[in-house]
Amino acid sequence: MPNTIALLTDFGTRDIYVGAMKGVIQRTAPQTTVIDISHHIEAQNVRQAAFALLNAYRYFVEGTVFLIVVDPGVGSTRKPIAVQAGAYIFVAPDNGVLSYALADLPEMRAYELTNPSLWLPETSATFHGRDVFAPVAAYLSAGMALENVGDALESIFTLPPPQLSVSGKRVRGEIMHIDRFGNIISSIGQLRWLAPDKLTLDPRFGDSRVPVPVRATEARIKIDTTEIEGLSRAYADAPRGTLLALAGSNGYLEIAVNQGNAAATLDVVVGDHIDFTVGGA
Amino acid sequence: MPNTIALLTDFGTRDIYVGAMKGVIQRTAPQTTVIDISHHIEAQNVRQAAFALLNAYRYFVEGTVFLIVVDPGVGSTRKPIAVQAGAYIFVAPDNGVLSYALADLPEMRAYELTNPSLWLPETSATFHGRDVFAPVAAYLSAGMALENVGDALESIFTLPPPQLSVSGKRVRGEIMHIDRFGNIISSIGQLRWLAPDKLTLDPRFGDSRVPVPVRATEARIKIDTTEIEGLSRAYADAPRGTLLALAGSNGYLEIAVNQGNAAATLDVVVGDHIDFTVGGA
Amino acid sequence: MPNTIALLTDFGTRDIYVGAMKGVIQRTAPQTTVIDISHHIEAQNVRQAAFALLNAYRYFVEGTVFLIVVDPGVGSTRKPIAVQAGAYIFVAPDNGVLSYALADLPEMRAYELTNPSLWLPETSATFHGRDVFAPVAAYLSAGMALENVGDALESIFTLPPPQLSVSGKRVRGEIMHIDRFGNIISSIGQLRWLAPDKLTLDPRFGDSRVPVPVRATEARIKIDTTEIEGLSRAYADAPRGTLLALAGSNGYLEIAVNQGNAAATLDVVVGDHIDFTVGGA
């Protein structure tokens, strides 16, 4: 099993912050491979990072240590934590950034990082990513037992789930993310194809976890005043420049324009409502 | 020989797309080193990616697997392919993105990716980079024989070459790329210095492949209404802030401003004409 | 000791320049791990790169080779150099980019890169990062003796130090950097906490190197017409949206807005003055 740390931060790449963290990881655990998930989470946007982590984690090898530093409360009383869940370990501030991934994973064990012998000797109050989180993640990636990081925790901080309400055949969700292509990714999922015209919707963020059947041709999607009829399979199923709705690569309902920018076309932002009428099945 | 995958995509680095691909590569081929060429190809700009690949590939170790995902036709009938040419392997959609590099390399063998046992178990219709291309590239980087990827292809899709016409002493080309510094890189090449005042122009994109002699001091470059006289060797050969023309680091005619931004100075864009009068030799 | 190269350039990540350098490093020294410090130094801003290097280098493992390519004079008479200082090696153009880090480190040995047998066979006049610096750094990371790179140098080019004048209890410095969060990082440092209300200021860039005592509650910071009273420990010590001053993670006086953007709030730029009245101790 390779030693892997996957990094997710809001540090951007203009400054030296990510480089300094990687320097610390490399000198602490030289055999560890570091993989960047992204460093361009919007500054201090914990929820965006939580959704990114949810969509990324399952593609990494078992044993991966996820090091997430989106940390508006650095230096305050918010705890630094390490959590094991499923085959993964997560090192992060206790601000809810792990909420969505952990909801997806079996039983967890959480610890507060209270063992300063693992940290850099001089610990700043403004950059725990480098001084606390990076060395702890490095030791964990090299095989150190989780309980060495500090004191066990009964519970950790949890974000409220994204908006997702199912009433009859209408599901109301919200825009969670707009990607680099302008694709609009919603909180409505998981959508899975069963047959050429048949899907199920498994509302993992909602109260109900009972899968809802969806007939692709009868589905109706509404954002603001725009309506889209039917679910496509691929961007290329609609003519170039045309709006379409599909099950995105993370399983959530996604609105796109084939070879265009859906968010610019519709002038929407993260947090806007999306209504999805699922049709019969 | 190290196991290497070189990545070139239009995914940007804000989203988790590149990270998910790297997660898949790492768990499929833990010994493989992944090197980013760029993830900032303009969205769906196949031609820009083709030119980037042409300029980058030769600096990589023999055996490198190039994984190129600029894929406006994902989920349509465009084929996913793997191609061996020279000492390299290329994994990409069959949309012409390999055209310029392959034109530069000896005989190729091309295969369609039709062996789903190599892909992720659940294959989305919108992210073949993660579900199809990444695992196949990973297996190839670890030494799997090329023919295992699927069915042999007789031919693959090819982009038309960039504009490059030679008539007498005038060569007409086009702007292929504007780099981060505002340097203007043209389709006119390869330029090679033979002596202090002497170059040859080997129009590798043109019909003629006969090298053309160029006298540096007699060369004339014209973009829109601006003319530049003579070819310099280095940016610093012109006073700071001054326009100059030279043989760029990829061998193509390049227009630059010493310590300035040529594209902003000239207000030009990719696709604009450049005329080059080569002078005698 | 792992083989490590840390990269710092102004190449950005849109172009293939960084990828080509990494290709050259990988085929020259396959066992070397490459870590990016940043590629988003402002184009040709040698001073910004010097400050970035100062703030990053100490987090890297002993033996790390720092490869810095911010090189406005490429192809001119500026020398390419390799320098050993402390436990580190630096490969860079001789334009002052190493000044701040070297001032921080014990005795150095400097060499000019005059041994072309280490370079790429065809050396361009516009991309020494790829053709000269990368292969030399790769050989050094793999253990080649420093003196093999070329001829010993008596001295190298040095930047003037940042503005930092101490007169009585007033220290005048300048803004050195504005980070991705809008935090304003000054030339005034190093600040170190000794007790809950007590710091020392060790003006490492100034003429005096005698530490100055600082009482946190009596410190006064002035930028333009804005005054801040007292030094905080962490961003979260001030209410959300409030200006504060603290000892940044690199030890320099830093102005921030808790969960906000200080540079936008104050409308300041790199080079502006900051006055710091240190109070008694």
Closest CB to C74: pick one of B2, B8, B236: B236
C23 interface with B at CB cutoff 8 Å:
yes
C230 interface with A at CB cutoff 8 Å:
no
- Asked if A139 and A169 sit in the same domain, the reply is no
- Asked if B123 and B258 sit in the same domain, the reply is no
Percent of chain C with pLDDT strictly greater than 90: 83
Please tell me the least confidently modeled range out of B138-142, B164-168, B268-272, C161-165.
B164-168
- Asked if C20 and C119 sit in the same domain, the reply is yes
Q: Judge: C26–B38 Cβ closer than 8 Å, yes or no.
A: no
Q: Is the pLDDT of residue B209 over 70?
A: no
| Model confidence pLDDT, tens digit, residues B228-249 | 999 999 999 999 999 999 999 9
A116 interface with B at CB cutoff 8 Å:
no
Q: Is the pLDDT of residue A207 over 90?
A: no
> Which CATH number does the domain housing residue B67 bear?
3.40.50.10790
A1 interface with C at CB cutoff 8 Å:
no
Grouping H, G, I as helix, E, B as strand and the rest as coil, residue C65 is strand
Interface test with B, best of A14, A35, A194 (most B CBs within 10 A): A35
C14 interface with B at CB cutoff 8 Å:
yes
Q: Are C171 and C201 in contact (CB under 8 A)?
A: yes
- Structural domain total, chain C: 2
Mean pLDDT of all residues belonging to chain C: 94
Grouping H, G, I as helix, E, B as strand and the rest as coil, residue C10 is coil
- B6 contacts in chain C (CB < 8 Å): 19, 23
- Asked if C119 and C243 sit in the same domain, the reply is no
- The pTM score is 0.96
- B254 contacts in chain C (CB < 8 Å): 126
Of all residues in chain B, the one with the smallest CA distance to C76 is B236
Q: Judge: A39–B13 Cβ closer than 8 Å, yes or no.
A: yes
- Residue B39 forms part of a structural domain: yes
Q: What pLDDT band is residue B169 in, cutting at 50, 70 and 90?
A: confident
Q: Tell me which of A100, A119, A153 is where a domain ends.
A: A153
Q: Judge: C180–A23 Cβ closer than 8 Å, yes or no.
A: no
Q: What pLDDT band is residue B276 in, cutting at 50, 70 and 90?
A: very high
Question: For residue A209, what pLDDT is reported?
Answer: 64
- Residue C159 forms part of a structural domain: no
Q: Are C201 and A93 in contact (CB under 8 A)?
A: no
Measure C75 CA to nearest chain B CA, in Å. Answer: 5
| Model confidence pLDDT, tens digit, residues B100-122 | 999 989 889 999 999 999 999 99
Residue A116: strand pairing partners: none
Closest among B47, B144, B57 to B97, alpha carbons compared:
B47
Q: Tell me which of A108, A132, A153 is where a domain ends.
A: A153
Q: Is the pLDDT of residue B41 over 70?
A: yes
- Residue A158 forms part of a structural domain: no
- Structure tokens, B25: 């590569």
C189 interface with A at CB cutoff 8 Å:
no
Chains in contact with C, where contact requires at least 3 CB pairs less than 8 Å apart: A, B
- Asked if C190 and C82 sit in the same domain, the reply is no
Q: What pLDDT band is residue A4 in, cutting at 50, 70 and 90?
A: very high
Q: Is the pLDDT of residue C209 over 70?
A: no
ipTM of the complex: 0.96
Q: Judge: A179–B14 Cβ closer than 8 Å, yes or no.
A: yes
Cα A160 from Cα C263, distance rounded (Å): 32
- Asked if A130 and A199 sit in the same domain, the reply is no
Residue range(s) defining the domain that contains residue C171: 164-277
- Residue B231 forms part of a structural domain: yes
Q: Is the pLDDT of residue B280 over 80?
A: no
Q: Is the pLDDT of residue C205 over 80?
A: no
- Asked if A181 and A144 sit in the same domain, the reply is no
Grouping H, G, I as helix, E, B as strand and the rest as coil, residue A217 is helix
| Model confidence pLDDT, tens digit, residues C48-77 | 999 999 999 999 999 999 999 999 999 889
Q: Judge: A52–B16 Cβ closer than 8 Å, yes or no.
A: yes
Q: Tell me which of C153, C173, C195 is where a domain ends.
A: C153
Of all residues in chain A, the one with the smallest CA distance to B16 is A37
- Asked if B18 and B148 sit in the same domain, the reply is yes
Closest CB to C236: pick one of A11, A26, A75: A75
Question: For residue B168, what pLDDT is reported?
Answer: 83
Q: Are A241 and B54 in contact (CB under 8 A)?
A: no
Q: Are C113 and C146 in contact (CB under 8 A)?
A: no
Closest CB to A234: pick one of B11, B26, B75: B75
Pairing state between β C4-9 and C33-38: parallel
- C27 contacts in chain B (CB < 8 Å): 2, 59-62
C58 interface with B at CB cutoff 8 Å:
no
- Residue A22 forms part of a structural domain: yes
HSE, CB side, 13 Å, CA atoms: give it for residue C201: 33
Question: For residue B165, what pLDDT is reported?
Answer: 87
Measure C7 CA to nearest chain A CA, in Å. Answer: 9
Give the residue, C1 or A83, on which the prediction is more confident: A83
Mean pLDDT for A28-47 is: 97
Q: Judge: C40–A14 Cβ closer than 8 Å, yes or no.
A: yes
B2 interface with A at CB cutoff 8 Å:
no
- Asked if B8 and B142 sit in the same domain, the reply is yes
Measure B123 CA to nearest chain C CA, in Å. Answer: 29
- B26 contacts in chain A (CB < 8 Å): 2, 4, 33, 35, 60-61
Q: What pLDDT band is residue C94 in, cutting at 50, 70 and 90?
A: very high
| Model confidence pLDDT, tens digit, residues C217-239 | 999 999 999 999 999 999 999 99
C165 interface with A at CB cutoff 8 Å:
no
- Residue A249 forms part of a structural domain: yes
| Model confidence pLDDT, tens digit, residues A144-153 | 999 999 999 9
Cα A139 from Cα A89, distance rounded (Å): 12
Mean pLDDT for C19-34 is: 97
- Asked if C32 and C148 sit in the same domain, the reply is yes
Of all residues in chain C, the one with the smallest CA distance to A21 is C59
> Which CATH number does the domain housing residue C257 bear?
2.40.30.90
- Structure tokens, A48: 């965006």
B181 interface with C at CB cutoff 8 Å:
yes
| Model confidence pLDDT, tens digit, residues C165-176 | 888 889 999 999
Chains in contact with B, where contact requires at least 3 CB pairs less than 8 Å apart: A, C
Fill in the DSSP letter of residue C157.
Answer: -
Grouping H, G, I as helix, E, B as strand and the rest as coil, residue A151 is strand
Please tell me the least confidently modeled range out of A193-197, B134-138, C244-248.
A193-197
Measure A227 CA to nearest chain B CA, in Å. Answer: 22
Q: What pLDDT band is residue A183 in, cutting at 50, 70 and 90?
A: very high
| Model confidence pLDDT, tens digit, residues A121-147 | 999 999 999 999 999 999 999 999 999
Mean pLDDT for C130-155 is: 98
Question: For residue B203, what pLDDT is reported?
Answer: 78
Of all residues in chain C, the one with the smallest CA distance to B259 is C72
Question: For residue A206, what pLDDT is reported?
Answer: 57
Question: For residue C207, what pLDDT is reported?
Answer: 54
Interface test with B, best of C119, C126, C180 (most B CBs within 10 A): C126
- Asked if A198 and A224 sit in the same domain, the reply is yes
Question: For residue A59, what pLDDT is reported?
Answer: 98
- C44 contacts in chain B (CB < 8 Å): 181, 259
Percent of chain A with pLDDT strictly greater than 70: 98
**What's phi and psi for C7, nearest 5 deg?**
-105, 135
Question: For residue B83, what pLDDT is reported?
Answer: 98
- Residue A119 forms part of a structural domain: yes
- C234 contacts in chain A (CB < 8 Å): 74-76, 125-126
Q: Is the pLDDT of residue C113 over 80?
A: yes
Measure C41 CA to nearest chain A CA, in Å. Answer: 7
Chain A / chain C CB contacts < 8 angstroms: 97
In DSSP notation, chain B reads ---EEEEEES--SSSSHHHHHHHHHHHH-TTPEEEEEES-SPTT-HHHHHHHHHHHGGGSPTTPEEEEE--TTTTSSPPEEEEEETTEEEEEESSSTTHHHHHTSS-EEEEEE--GGGS-SS--SS-HIIIIIHHHHHHHHTT--GGGGEEEES----PPPPPEEEETTEEEEEEEEE-TT--EEES---EEEEETTEEEE--TTSS--S-EEEEGGG-EEEETTEEEES-BSSGGGS-TT-EEEEE-TTSSEEEEETTS-HHHHHT--TT-EEEEE----
- C6 contacts in chain A (CB < 8 Å): 19, 23
Interface test with A, best of B7, B14, B70, B122 (most A CBs within 10 A): B14
Q: Is the pLDDT of residue C187 over 80?
A: yes
CA separation (Å) from C210 to A199, C68, C186, C200, C277?
Answer: 72, 31, 19, 10, 16
- Residue C105 forms part of a structural domain: yes
- Asked if A138 and A208 sit in the same domain, the reply is no
- A13 contacts in chain B (CB < 8 Å): 13
